[in-house]
Amino acid sequence: MLGNTFGRVFRVTTAGEAFGPALVGIVEGVPAGIPLTEAEIQRDLDRRKPGQSAISTPRQESDRVRILSGTLDGVTTGAPIALVIDNEWATLKHIAAYADEKDIIKPGHATYTYFAKFGVHRDWVADGRANGRETAMRVAAGAIAKKLLAPIGVEIVAYTKELGGVRCPEMSYERIKEHADEPPVRCPDPEAAERMLERALDAKAKGDSLGGIVEVIARGVPAGLGEPVFDKLDANLARAMMSIGSVKGVEIGAGFAVAGMKGSENNDPPYIREGQIAFRTNNAGGILGGISTGEDIIVRLAVKPTPTIALEQETVDMVRRRSSTFRCKTATDPTIVPRMIPIAEAMMAITLIDHAMLARSQEHRKES
């Protein structure tokens, strides 16, 4: 299995399956001399872990992270940082729950595609690396990336923009930042949040699930990050977000709405603000020509409904090649949108710090 590393300078490599002994991560590119503790990383992991509300799976994982290398007395040494999160749910009892259905295609999951690629030796327990458990290590690495971004003035906030057809109204960045993390749906508008919760609980009662939209905003990103051709900042952000399981679409700035705009409506007029170049609107989402403009970077993710549902579904036995049915027997989320928030923030942070470090490595070539 290839493709387990992301980044060029700030490099994150992850390993581990949903029901393996542990999740493992290696983070390269972190400079020496940065204070870093397990508690700092744990804060974001606690935001991601299951079992926090009525619309989250009851599965319990403490997601306790341990730093195995790359620090000395709580300060980075410049060596690769090794992280590990033990899987507490990986017991024989829970693994056995998947044995009877290992040959059955679970609709909406990667069961068949993993079988097509890896055959009978794939990890069939909760779909292995395709399980959302994989994202815990992304969040851990993202916490380190956020810490490195803070000194250059970059902050990142994500929230539930839409859930089950209920959309959060437009509001100021300050209000979003203040209320974005409020449980259980992580929507900063209380009225929209209440309606989202009602729809999620209704779907849960019916054994079904809901999808939605997560919006991620990065403020304070300096102008000039990104490479103009294959490593455009927006291209790498799209790759980062699409690499998250259950994300089926990504838009930046005005996104798909640009298809219905005129050029006079879509163009963002520049002006001088406190002696600096700024833009009166931000349809570009903070990126032009693959390079950051200095405005807020705004990315939205379309998240599909949780494929694990309690309703009986038509399927097939892929080994015996015969029709079958499938009904979920394990714990499930009626929606994974709120839990997607820290994951989206992590991938934004990892991408931005990688580009910031890449830009710094090329500064000697820059003409004054």
Instruction: Look over the chain and give the mean of its residue pLDDT values, rounded to a whole number.
Output: 93
Predicted pLDDT of residue 227: 95
How many domains is the chain built from?
Answer: 1
Rounded Cα gap, residues 218 and 146, in angstroms: 11
Rounded Cα gap, residues 11 and 354, in angstroms: 8
pLDDT above 80 (res 330): no
- CATH, residue 20: 3.60.150.10
Region 278-302: mean pLDDT is 98
pLDDT digits 0-9 by tens, 10-57: 999 999 988 888 999 999 999 999 999 999 999 999 999 876 667 766
pLDDT above 60 (res 317): yes
Q: Work out the burial of residue 153: count CB atoms within 10 Å of its CB; fewer than 13 is exposed, 13-18 middle, 19 or more buried.
A: exposed
Rounded Cα gap, residues 41 and 219, in angstroms: 21
pLDDT digits 0-9 by tens, 233-252: 999 999 999 999 999 999 99
Predicted pLDDT of residue 100: 81
Best CA proximity match to 228, nearest among 364, 350, 359: 359
Integer CA distances (angstroms), 26 to 5, 6, 45, 206, 240, in order: 9, 11, 16, 41, 17
Domain containing residue 349: 5-365
pLDDT above 50 (res 84): yes
Length of the chain: 368
Predicted pLDDT of residue 229: 95
Query: Can you give the three-state secondary structure of the chain, one letter per residue?
Result: CCCCEECCCCEEEEECCCCCCEEEEEEECCCCCCECCHHHHHHHHHHHCCCCCCCCCCCCCCCCEEEEECEECCEECCCCEEEEEECCCCCHHHHHHHHCCCCECCCCCCHHHHHHHHHHHCCCHHHHHHCHHHHHHHHHHHHHHHHHHHHHCCEEEEEEEEECCEECCCCCHHHHHHHCCCCCCCCCCHHHHHHHHHHHHHHHHCCCCCCEEEEEEEECCCCCCCCCCCCCHHHHHHHHHHCCCCEEEEEECCHHHHHHCCHHHHCCCEEEECCEEEECCCCCCCEECCEECCCCEEEEEEECCCCCCCCCEEEEECCCCEEEEECCCCCCCCCCHHHHHHHHHHHHHHHHHHHHHHHHHCHHHCCC
pLDDT digits 0-9 by tens, 116-146: 999 888 888 878 888 888 999 999 999 999 9
Rounded Cα gap, residues 155 and 142, in angstroms: 12
